[in-house]
């Protein structure tokens, strides 16, 4: 009897605690402002080449182009970005595994990431990469909060740690959350660059182009003002002739 | 984008130029509305100009399909299915427009031909006619006064000034300001955060993956919002077609003796309300079709059509301020 009573008392208590917990649990924090400089893109590219490139292609981005944009020599690119053997310096970034192998192992061929950052946006990519959780029901053992039942396993687990669905840490990662977040942001910065490799070139020359057009506008404005002076003067003049009460114009 | 030298510059100029040219078109049309430039004797000028705007919508639509991203595919499906609503010959016309039962290679081929050659030639011809029509009647002015009524002893209008050099130098300044803004967009925000270049364009066209919401580009979104305002497909299309066609009749709907909104306070308020409505509809048309927007869409459509339907009555009785005899400097 007392057992039933205590259970009856505990039930609402549990409900209350759960509700309070749900109310205090804040939504996942906003991603850090993804830094976007050549240094972060290079750091992201190195991580990408070491790990992501095992499965994912970036077909449209040639190694040569990447080297030219990021200021890396062909030797560096060949040594630390290209997978041994298969990749061609003059062609796009290729994954280490073939499409057929990937399909056999993962169920789906991993997508080409050339346009992914522009299609999904850097904020989504960042949140996606940091939202994996352990789910024994999935064939890979992984699931994702923002992309449910995704086929991709959490390859970032060794760095970021393994979390359960409600956010408790099962196995801590090699890196502290702050460092890990920073690394993910680097990878996202690289994907942003890969989806529009003109970005550094654009930023470098943009200010000169805009400056030239501003100078052109200022000169054109001065020219226009000079030409139109006589029109405004004529108006003032004829106006003063028409009404004698109007005060004399500047010329008078 | 990846392999051609300066290819990104050409592509961004092309894709951002569309949005900017529509901004300029809206400014140009807004000025015509404010100063009553569409009024007698400039009806033909207005009709040709508005025809250019409608043709530009078509040109923009063809260009929207050609990259053949997933958004392009679904936008092509949606817009060509509007033709389906034409009585009797609708289904046949749709097949003709698509070049087959669905949007595919044949659609792209004909849209490319239209986008780059035929439509372009028609547009260029219309722009030529627009200028010819302007030369016949002359430019309006912010006061809406007919300067040809007051000519000097040599037969030239007293208040007129030659286009060259006065307007050529003024336009060089305008072009400079435009190029500055254009360059800022191209070099620093070419997709304008998904407004000028939509994110879903970057997925490949895929008939098996439908998009959660197929949105038109912002400059066509007001009409799309009005299309969605009515739950019935045919009535919605009728509303949208009416919204596109109504401005053609503007010169004959306005019955006021005074041209410029400078001397017509009621008309000026109507124009401002219309502008706010139009851009509100543009914003709503870009949003997913949620019930919370229905009221705004319907209200916007009512104001938009109400403007044209009430104009003949209001313009006949509206109070006007005295118009000066000469153009003010």
Q: What is the mean pLDDT of residues A242-251?
A: 38
**Contact check, Cβ <8 Å, B169/A121:** no
**Contact check, Cβ <8 Å, B8/A213:** no
A216 touches chain B (CB under 8 A): yes
β-pairing verdict for A162-163 and A169-171: antiparallel
∠ Cα B74 A194 A205 (to 5°): 105
Q: What is the mean pLDDT of residues A204-217?
A: 96
Mutual orientation of helices A63-70 and A177-195 as an angle, nearest 10°?
A: 110
B180 touches chain A (CB under 8 A): yes
Does the residue B71 lie in any domain?
yes
How is chain A split into domains, by residue range?
38-197, 206-236
Same domain membership, residue B46 and residue B182: yes
Average pLDDT, chain B: 92
Does the residue B284 lie in any domain?
yes
Same domain membership, residue B231 and residue B193: no
**Contact check, Cβ <8 Å, B173/A223:** yes
Question: Given pLDDT bands bounded at 50, 70 and 90, which one contains residue A238?
Answer: low
Question: Given pLDDT bands bounded at 50, 70 and 90, which one contains residue B329?
Answer: low
∠ Cα A163 A164 A166 (to 5°): 115
**Contact check, Cβ <8 Å, A213/B199:** no
**Contact check, Cβ <8 Å, B176/A209:** no
**Contact check, Cβ <8 Å, A202/B161:** no
Q: What is the mean pLDDT of residues B54-65?
A: 95
User: B140-166, pLDDT tens digit by residue?
Assistant: 999 998 888 888 888 888 888 888 889
Where b means 16+ CB within 10 Å and e means fewer, B75-103 reads: bbbebbbbbbbeeeeeeeebeebbbeeeb
Name the residue range of residue B130's domain: 1-28+37-150+161-209
User: B71-109, pLDDT tens digit by residue?
Assistant: 999 999 989 999 988 889 989 999 999 999 889 999 999
- A224 closest CB neighbour out of B170, B187, B190: B170
Chains A–B, number of C-beta pairs less than 8 Å apart: 90
A108 touches chain B (CB under 8 A): no
Does the residue B323 lie in any domain?
no
pLDDT of residue A167: 86
Which residue of B167, B183, B209, B327 is the best one to mutate when testing the A interface, meaning the one whose CB has the most A CBs within 10 A?
A: B183
B175 touches chain A (CB under 8 A): yes
Q: Which residues of B touch A224 (CB under 8 A)?
A: 169-170, 172-173
C-alpha A229/C-alpha A64 separation (Å) is: 57
Question: Given pLDDT bands bounded at 50, 70 and 90, which one contains residue B9?
Answer: very high
Distances (CA, A) of B171 to B144, B164, B238: 21, 10, 40
Same domain membership, residue B263 and residue B126: no
B212 touches chain A (CB under 8 A): no
CATH superfamily for domain A38-197? Cytochrome c-like domain (1.10.760.10)
Q: Which residues of A touch B179 (CB under 8 A)?
A: 213, 216-217
Average pLDDT, chain A: 81
Q: Residue B126 is part of a domain; what is its CATH number? A: 1.20.810.10
Instruction: Compute the nearest-CA separation of B217 from chain A (Å).
Output: 16
Is the separation of the CB atoms in A203 and A221 below 8 Å?
no
Instruction: Compute the nearest-CA separation of A120 from chain B (Å).
Output: 7
Q: What is the mean pLDDT of residues A184-199?
A: 93
Q: What is the mean pLDDT of residues B14-19?
A: 95
Same domain membership, residue B263 and residue B124: no
User: A80-124, pLDDT tens digit by residue?
Assistant: 888 766 788 898 888 888 888 888 888 888 999 999 999 998 888
User: B244-287, pLDDT tens digit by residue?
Assistant: 999 999 999 999 999 999 999 999 999 999 999 999 999 999 98
**Contact check, Cβ <8 Å, B173/A231:** no
Query: What percent of chain B lies above the pLDDT cut of 90?
Result: 72
pLDDT of residue A18: 46
- B176 closest CB neighbour out of A202, A213, A232: A213
ipTM: 0.89
Same domain membership, residue B283 and residue B142: no
Question: CA-nearest residue of chain B to A194?
Answer: B2
Question: Given pLDDT bands bounded at 50, 70 and 90, which one contains residue A30?
Answer: low
Q: Which residues of A touch B188 (CB under 8 A)?
A: 202-203, 206
- A119 closest CB neighbour out of B170, B187, B200: B200
Q: Which residues of A touch B185 (CB under 8 A)?
A: none
Question: Given pLDDT bands bounded at 50, 70 and 90, which one contains residue A14?
Answer: very low
pLDDT of residue A31: 61
In this model, does residue A28 exceed pLDDT 60? no
Is the separation of the CB atoms in B22 and B60 below 8 Å?
yes
3-class SS of residue B5 = coil
Into how many domains does chain B fold?
A: 2
Which residue of A67, A115, A211, A242 is the best one to mutate when testing the B interface, meaning the one whose CB has the most B CBs within 10 A?
A: A115
What is the 8-class DSSP label of residue A143?
Answer: E
A201 touches chain B (CB under 8 A): yes
pLDDT of residue B63: 94
Query: What percent of chain A lies above the pLDDT cut of 70?
Result: 78
Same domain membership, residue B176 and residue B53: yes
Same domain membership, residue B176 and residue B41: yes
Same domain membership, residue B174 and residue B117: yes
Question: Given pLDDT bands bounded at 50, 70 and 90, which one contains residue A79?
Answer: confident
pLDDT of residue A235: 64
Q: What is the mean pLDDT of residues B188-215?
A: 88
Helices (H), chain B: 7-34, 43-65, 70-83, 90-98, 105-113, 119-137, 163-188, 221-229, 233-245, 250-253, 265-286, 291-317
Instruction: Compute the nearest-CA separation of B180 from chain A (Å).
Output: 5
pLDDT of residue A237: 59
Question: Given pLDDT bands bounded at 50, 70 and 90, which one contains residue A241?
Answer: very low
pLDDT of residue A85: 63
Q: Which residues of A touch B180 (CB under 8 A)?
A: 210, 213-214, 217
**Contact check, Cβ <8 Å, A209/B183:** yes
User: A41-73, pLDDT tens digit by residue?
Assistant: 999 999 999 999 888 999 899 999 999 999 999
Q: Which residues of A touch B329 (CB under 8 A)?
A: 231-232, 235-236
Same domain membership, residue B235 and residue B202: no
Does the residue B327 lie in any domain?
no
More confident call, A8 vs B70: B70
B5 touches chain A (CB under 8 A): no
Q: Which residues of A touch B183 (CB under 8 A)?
A: 206, 209-210, 213
Same domain membership, residue B205 and residue B265: no
More confident call, A32 vs A4: A32
Same domain membership, residue B224 and residue B205: no
Q: Which of B209, B229, B249 is the last residue of a domain?
A: B209
**Contact check, Cβ <8 Å, A223/B329:** no
Same domain membership, residue B226 and residue B199: no
B1 touches chain A (CB under 8 A): yes
C-alpha A132/C-alpha B61 separation (Å) is: 40
In this model, does residue A246 exceed pLDDT 60? no
DSSP letter string, B107-119: HHHHHHHIIIIIH
């Amino acid at each position: 009897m007392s057992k039933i009573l205590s259970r009856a008392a505990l039930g609402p208590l549990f409900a209350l605690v759960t509700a309070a917990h749900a109310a205090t649990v804040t939504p996942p924090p906003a991603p850090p402002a993804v830094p976007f400089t050549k240094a972060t893109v290079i750091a992201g590219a190195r991580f990408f080449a070491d790990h992501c490139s095992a499965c994912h292609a970036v077909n449209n981005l040639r190694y040569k182009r990447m080297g030219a944009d990021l200021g890396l020599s062909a030797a560096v690119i060949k040594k630390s970005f290209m997978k041994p053997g298969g990749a061609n310096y003059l062609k796009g970034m290729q994954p280490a595994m073939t499409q057929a192998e990937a399909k056999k192992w993962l169920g789906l061929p991993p997508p080409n990431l050339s346009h992914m950052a522009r299609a999904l946006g850097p904020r989504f990519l960042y949140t996606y990469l940091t939202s994996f959780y352990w789910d024994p029901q999935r064939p890979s053992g992984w699931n994702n909060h923002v992309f449910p039942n995704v086929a991709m396993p959490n390859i970032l687990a060794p760095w970021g740690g393994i979390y359960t669905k409600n956010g408790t840490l099962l196995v801590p990662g090699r890196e502290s959350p702050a460092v890990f977040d920073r690394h993910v942001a680097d990878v996202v910065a690289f994907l942003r660059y890969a989806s529009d490799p003109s970005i550094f070139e654009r930023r470098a020359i943009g200010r000169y182009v805009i400056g030239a057009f501003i100078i052109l506008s200022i000169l054109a404005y001065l020219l226009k003002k000079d030409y139109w002076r006589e029109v405004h003067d004529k108006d003032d003049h004829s106006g003063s002739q028409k009404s004698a009460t109007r005060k004399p114009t500047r010329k008078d | 984008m990846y392999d051609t030298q300066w290819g990104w510059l050409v592509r961004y100029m092309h894709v951002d130029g569309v949005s900017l040219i529509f901004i300029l078109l809206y400014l140009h049309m807004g000025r015509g509305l404010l100063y009553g430039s569409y009024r007698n004797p400039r009806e033909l000028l207005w009709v040709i100009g508005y025809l250019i705007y409608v043709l530009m919508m078509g040109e923009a639509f063809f260009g929207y399909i050609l990259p053949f991203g997933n958004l392009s595919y679904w936008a092509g499906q949606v817009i060509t299915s509007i033709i389906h609503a034409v009585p009797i010959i609708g289904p046949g016309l749709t097949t003709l427009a698509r070049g087959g039962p669905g949007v595919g290679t044949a659609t792209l081929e004909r849209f490319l031909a239209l986008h780059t050659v035929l439509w372009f030639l028609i547009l260029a011809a219309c722009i030529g006619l627009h200028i010819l029509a302007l030369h016949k009647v002359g430019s309006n002015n912010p006061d809406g006064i007919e300067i040809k009524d007051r000519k000097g002893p040599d037969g030239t209008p007293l208040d007129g000034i030659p286009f060259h050099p006065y307007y050529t130098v003024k336009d060089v300044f305008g072009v400079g300001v435009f190029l500055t803004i254009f360059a800022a967009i191209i070099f620093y925000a070419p997709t304008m955060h998904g407004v000028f270049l939509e994110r879903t364009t970057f997925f490949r066209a895929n008939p098996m993956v439908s998009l959660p919401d197929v949105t038109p580009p912002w400059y066509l979104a007001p009409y799309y919002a009005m299309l969605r305002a009515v739950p019935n497909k045919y009535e919605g299309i009728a509303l949208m077609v009416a919204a596109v066609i109504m401005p053609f009749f503007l010169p004959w709907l306005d019955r006021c003796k005074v041209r410029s909104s400078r001397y017509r306070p009621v008309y000026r308020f109507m124009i401002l309300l219309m502008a706010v409505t139009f851009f509100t509809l543009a914003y709503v048309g870009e949003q997913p079709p949620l019930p919370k927007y229905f009221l705004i869409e319907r209200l916007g459509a009512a104001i938009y059509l109400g403007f044209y339907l009430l104009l003949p009555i209001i313009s006949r009785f509206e109070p006007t301020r005295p118009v000066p005899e000469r153009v003010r400097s």
